[in-house]
A and B are shown apart, each in its own frame.
Chain A
Amino acid sequence: MKFAIIVFPGSNCDHDAHHAAQDVLGQQAECIWHKDTSLNGADVVILPGGFAHGDYLRTGAMARFSPIMSAVREFAGRGGPVVGICNGFQVLLEAGLLPGAMLRNVSLKYQCEFVHVRVDQVDTPFTCGATAGQVLRIPIGHGEGNYFAPPDLLRSIEANRQVVLRYADAAGRVSDDSNPNGSVNGIAAVCNEQRNVVGMMPHPERACESILGGGTDGLVILQSVVKWVTAGAHPAEKLALHAS
């Protein structure tokens, strides 16, 4: 199977994502420049972390106008798995492919640290290899990861089970103490209603090799999508497959 990693001017986690997909997971991976218009037959799309187009106006605000985003939108529309990591999450929010918006961290500081996240939903392409309630230790690095949704939208996101990961302690308890940025309801990752597009602030590609000393919990996320794609079924059938 093949990963496409979208490279915007200012992306800086693209090579890490490419390395994780190709060298750690042993899959095909291709970096695709934002001015290209084709995903070249990829099975999975990663929007990596960084500072797309400099993030000068708002994080992710310019990237949604990049030519490649039409192909990403079309791919997502027919059920293809798409994950936005950190800045990639911010791009998906600005592009309207995911609900909500990002605010500055309540600390007003760039938070760069390992956090624990609890997997609340396992019927997405990026968490299907996890167990419900599993706690993962994965690093974050962001200044604007304070997820926000207005009350009505938040209710609908929660009712539709679109909160995929929440910041928690090592035992999986969600509290203000375990919330690094002020995100509403401790939200670290959300998916769209169709569940094939996921945005997450933690960086799974930074926690894939034990030699780096931070553990390998990020593999749970990336191996999930390999499992999802290699299962080979239509996304709707995969959901049923997983539920059974």
Chain B
Amino acid sequence: MRARVFVTLKPSVFDPQGKVIADALHSLGYGGVGDVRQGKYFELDLAATEAAQARALAAEVADKLLANPVIESYRIEID
């Protein structure tokens, strides 16, 4: 199975890269774009055959390595 892990800075944490990207989009004329948040995206190929098992493993590696819980949160999709 495949797990997709999206890691982003928590809403309360200032994202300097996202701010620069938002400013760039505004200067390109995209006034309809508001805030931008940049994050990381991981695709994990897993040996697991059950979605619940895959999700548990993806959460474990996200907690242990992929995300820093002080500043980041993550979301997992399984397919």
Contact = CB atoms under 8 A, between A and B. Distances in A.
Contacts of A231: none
B12 A101 contact: no
Contacts of A58: 68
Interface residues of B, number: 12
Contacts of A182: 14, 16
Which range contains the number of A residues in contact with the other chain?
A: 20 to 34
B51 interface: no
A149 B68 contact: no
Interface SS of chain A: loop
A211 to B, nearest CB: 37
A58 B14 CA distance: 16
Interface in A70-118: 93-94, 100-101, 103-108
A106 B9 CA distance: 14
Given A61-B65, A103-B13, A103-B14, A149 B20 contact: no
Contacts, number: 37
Contacts of B12: 150-151
B17 A94 contact: no
B22 interface: no
A212 interface: no
17 contacts: A57-B65, A57-B66, A61-B65, A62-B65, A94-B68, A101-B71, A103-B9, A103-B14, A103-B16, A104-B17, A106-B16, A107-B16, A146-B16, A148-B70, A149-B70, A151-B12, A153-B70
Give 5 nearest A-B pairs by CB, closest first: A101-B70, A101-B71, A106-B16, A104-B16, A101-B68
